[in-house]
Amino acid sequence: METKTKIYIILAVFGLASLALVVFLIWPVFQSIEEKSNELLSEKNELFYLEDQVAEVENFKKNYESYKENLEKIDTVFVNSKNPVDFIKFLEQTAEDSALKSEIFLSAANISKDNKNTASPFISFQIITDGSFSNTIKFSEKLETGPYLLKIQNLTVKKSEEISSKKSSTQNIRATFLINVFVKNNER
């Protein structure tokens, strides 16, 4: 029985030594290999992504002339924030074409109390119009489909207080538009 016990003890020690070898030597090596292969795969993916980006930039440079006309058109949809005269003329002409009386104000949100250069992507205007409801709707549609990138932020409509000298079947209304118009980056 003593030989059997010695054999069991030797097998147990050998099994524990094998287990310790696997746990402390082989397992960490496999873990390290897995981590390094994941890092390598990640770096390869990033390299492929960067190569694709470089190819796209080169393709854009080659086709720039064909894009140039459209890029210039895109630039015209933005208002010059330092000199929005053309946009104001557009507003006045659109109101006149829609048979509306109008008053245009630069919104107080645009006036900065300090001289910090906080560049906002838009400037706000308040437009007060007097006229018929259908003409006001036409004006709104012309604003939205006009040549400038803008958003009608708020629209308030109420019965006009002015009494027209003509007695017509249409009731005049006073509409107040608050619009945000997107501006060019003037730092170019």
Q: Hey, where are the domains in the chain?
A: 2-62, 85-182
Contact status, residue 74 vs residue 178, Cβ threshold 8 Å: no
Contact status, residue 102 vs residue 128, Cβ threshold 8 Å: yes
Secondary structure letter of residue 187 according to DSSP:
T
Total residue length of the chain: 188
* pLDDT tens, residue order, the chain (188 aa): 688 898 889 999 999 998 888 888 888 888 999 999 999 999 999 999 999 999 999 999 998 888 888 888 888 888 888 888 999 999 999 999 999 999 999 876 655 444 445 567 889 999 999 999 999 999 999 999 999 999 999 999 998 766 555 555 567 899 999 999 998 875 44
104 burial via Cβ count (<10 Å: 0-12, 13-18, 19+): middle
Q: Is the domain 85-182 a CATH 2.60.120.650 member?
A: no
pTM: 0.58
* Strand order across the beta sheet in which 172-182 lies: 101-106, 122-132, 172-182, 150-159
